[in-house]
C-alpha cells in the first residue's frame, strides 16, 4: 500500500499540521504531506513545513474577506494537482471554499473542529461551549461539504469542561485531542477503511467513529 499524499491548507500556527508531520515522519501513519499552502504569507505553518523539507507555498486569497477569489482558488487547485495531492486537509484554514473546489475534491476534503459537532459549529466553538454551560465538549474530524461544519463525522474525542475553565484552558485540552484524532482519521482514509452512506461514516474492522482521549477516559480554535 502506497502512502496517501495530502495537501494541507493552513492560515496560522499549524499545530495540527505539526502533529501530522511528526507521525508521518515517524512512520506511524501511511500519510505523506506533499505540500502546505497558506493564504497568510508569514503563517507559522509554512515555516513548519519548510523545517520538515515539505514544499510550502503562499497564495494570496484575493480581494474577498472570508473566502478565496475564484482566481486564487484555481491557483490552489493547480498547486495541489502539481504535487499529486489525493486528500485535502484543512488545518486552521480561515477561508471558505467554493462549491467548485469541493466538487473537484468530493469526499476528499477533511477538517477538524474544536467541538462535538453538530454542537457549536463555526468560529469559537470552545467559547460557545463555555457560554452554553455544557459539561462535555471535544473535537471532531469530519468530511467537508458546502455547509459550515456540517459534513459527515469521521472521528470524535470527548473532553470534559472543568469548573473554572477559561477559553484558553479548554482550548488547550481540546487541541491535545485534535492532535491525536486527526492523524488517526487520515490513517483510516489511507487504509481505505471508511465508507460514507449519507451522513453515516463507518470503518471496516475498526473504530465506530467515537474515541475517548486521556481526559475523556478519566471522566474528567484548533489549528
Is 83 marked active-site?
no
Q: Which of 58, 98, 113, 124 is catalytic?
A: 113
Residue where the block lists cell 520538515: 52
User: Taking each helix axis from N to C terminus, what angle separates 15-25 and 44-51, rounded to the nearest 10 degrees?
Assistant: 10
Distance CA 118, CA 112 (A): 13
List, by residue number, the catalytic residues: 113
Amino acid at each position: 500500500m502506497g502512502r496517501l499524499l495530502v495537501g494541507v491548507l493552513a492560515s496560522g500556527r499549524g499545530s495540527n499540521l505539526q502533529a501530522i508531520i511528526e507521525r508521518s515522519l515517524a512512520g506511524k501513519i501511511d500519510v505523506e504531506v506533499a505540500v502546505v499552502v497558506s493564504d497568510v504569507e508569514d503563517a507559522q505553518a509554512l515555516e513548519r513545513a519548510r523545517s520538515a523539507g515539505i514544499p510550502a507555498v503562499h497564495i494570496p486569497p484575493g480581494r474577498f474577506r472570508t473566502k478565496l477569489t475564484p482566481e486564487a482558488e484555481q491557483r490552489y487547485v493547480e498547486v495541489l494537482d502539481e504535487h499529486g495531492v489525493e486528500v485535502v486537509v484543512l488545518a486552521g484554514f480561515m477561508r471558505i471554499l467554493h462549491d467548485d473546489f469541493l466538487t473537484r475534491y468530493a469526499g476528499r476534503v477533511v477538517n477538524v473542529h474544536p467541538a462535538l459537532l453538530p454542537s457549536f459549529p463555526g468560529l469559537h466553538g470552545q467559547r460557545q461551549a463555555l457560554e452554553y454551560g455544557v459539561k462535555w465538549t471535544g473535537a471532531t474530524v469530519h468530511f467537508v461539504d458546502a455547509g459550515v461544519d456540517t459534513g459527515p463525522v469521521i472521528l470524535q474525542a470527548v473532553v470534559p469542561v472543568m469548573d473554572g475553565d477559561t477559553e484558553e484552558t479548554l482550548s488547550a485540552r481540546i487541541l491535545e485531542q485534535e492532535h491525536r484524532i486527526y492523524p488517526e482519521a487520515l490513517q483510516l482514509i489511507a487504509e481505505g477503511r471508511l465508507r460514507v452512506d449519507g451522513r453515516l461514516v463507518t470503518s471496516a474492522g475498526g473504530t465506530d467513529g467515537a474515541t475517548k482521549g486521556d481526559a475523556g477516559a478519566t471522566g474528567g480554535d484548533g489549528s
